[in-house]
Homo-oligomer: A and B are copies of this chain.
Amino acid sequence: MKTSTPPRILLTAGPTREHIDPVRFLSNGSSGRMGYALAGEAAARGCAVELVSGPVSLPAPEGVTVHRVVSAADMLAACEPLFGACDVFIAVAAVSDYRPRVFAPEKMKKNGGVLTLEFEPTVDILKTLAARKHPGQTVVGFAAETRDVEAYARRKLETKNLDWIVANDVSRPGIGMDAADNAVLLLSRAGARLAFGPAPKQAVAGFILDHVLC
């Protein structure tokens, strides 16, 4: 991606929450730190940065416009009007991939028995937007897995029409999803395979941007 004006970056970060009732939800432990670090680093490099964020307890990075959302459906709805104008889309959010089929508008009462709930797949935000990629756009995904990390990441890179994927193994204690540090493997459609870390997420953000912005 080569432009004379600063690139416009769209990022997603954090988890999504898929509510069962007004109180309970299905989610994951993403802290949002990796996405916020990337957003802050991209802004520091002069990029115009829009960050669509699930519920996290992080402040907006300096120079970044943050759009706060709850569910996967909300996140896609917030990204859609921003995607067309971006040069680089980096999908860092740990989107819940299932949501309850039925939402109970009042808090369910515990009746002491077994509760059976049906979940359906949420919309695939990365795949949906990457399918609309126009020439000159770069799309970067993340893959958080507990095993066969590289194989899953390569499959995701290909099936979702991505340019880069950042693979990380979330089964390692102190690294990844809800940690200060991360260790990643950066794979490109063009064949690059670059490992980095464990290192603070800020340093990992710099490493990723060094490659995907050039």
With both beta carbons as reference points, the residue of chain B lying nearest to A152 in the complex is identified as B109
Q: Are B26 and A55 in contact (CB under 8 A)?
A: no
Is A27 on the interface with B (CB-CB < 8 A)?
A: yes
Instruction: Chain B residues near A24: list those with CB within 8 A.
Output: 26-28, 96, 98
Measured CA separation A177–B22 after assembly (Å): 11
A142-185 interface (Cβ within 8 A of B): 144-147, 170-171, 177-178
Chain A interface, number of residues (Cβ within 8 angstroms): 39
Is A4 on the interface with B (CB-CB < 8 A)?
A: no
Is A62 on the interface with B (CB-CB < 8 A)?
A: no
Is A210 on the interface with B (CB-CB < 8 A)?
A: no
Is A57 on the interface with B (CB-CB < 8 A)?
A: yes
Q: Are A23 and B94 in contact (CB under 8 A)?
A: yes
With both beta carbons as reference points, the residue of chain B lying nearest to A148 in the complex is identified as B106
Q: Are A114 and B119 in contact (CB under 8 A)?
A: yes
Measured CA separation A92–B107 after assembly (Å): 18
Is A110 on the interface with B (CB-CB < 8 A)?
A: yes
Is A101 on the interface with B (CB-CB < 8 A)?
A: yes
Q: Are B114 and A101 in contact (CB under 8 A)?
A: yes
Measured CA separation A120–B171 after assembly (Å): 26
Is A121 on the interface with B (CB-CB < 8 A)?
A: yes
Which residues from chain A sit less than 8 Å from chain B, CB to CB? 17, 20, 22-29, 31, 55, 57, 94, 96-98, 101, 106-107, 110, 112-121, 144-147, 170-171, 177-178
